[in-house]
Amino acid sequence: MTMTPEQIELVRKSFDGLWPVRRKLAKLFYSRFFELAPESRRLFPDSMEKQNLKLMDALAAMVGALDQREMFQAIIMHSARQHAQFGATPSQFAAFGEALMWGLQQQFGPAFTPELREAWSTLYETIQCKMAGTRGA
């Protein structure tokens, strides 16, 4: 799945707007993720503060590399290897995507337009497909 230049711009602008509230978004995301995939909780530390920052830093790296294909793929491959070591499953990736969309909806409210939702969904589908394809690499 390929993002259009317009989708890349939508994701970038919206992510820039999220950066000041990244800790809140990460907390929202993980609370929802653990509701959807409770078995995942054991894969994470008790204190989630560092993990919250890791999540947002990883998203920042991916968003920042959206128009740099090789860099974008390298970031995803690195992330895929890490998740494979932790034993992440396809159902957890699906729950992750659902929790991400939910968290974005909570954060943006009415500003989370169908176009913005589509752009973020396309980004996550792209990442998920590439990660699934590189997990054994």
* pLDDT at residue 90 is higher than 90: no
The backbone region for 90, taken as left when phi is positive above 0, alpha when psi lies in -120 to 50, beta otherwise, is alpha
Return the DSSP state at 96. Answer: H
Q: Which residues contact 117 (CB under 8 A, 6 or more apart)?
A: 101, 104, 105
CA distances from 3 to 7, 8, 36, 53, 78 (A): 6, 6, 27, 26, 21
Structure tokens at 84: 């494979």
Q: Which of 50-54, 91-95, 104-108 has the lowest mean pLDDT?
A: 91-95
Cβ-proximal residues to 8 (8 Å cutoff; 6+ apart), any chain? 66, 67, 119
Domains, the chain, in order of start with CATH, read 5-134 (1.10.490.10)
The whole-number pLDDT of residue 1 equals: 65
- pLDDT class of 137 with cuts at 50, 70, 90: very low
- Per-residue pLDDT for 100 more than 90? yes
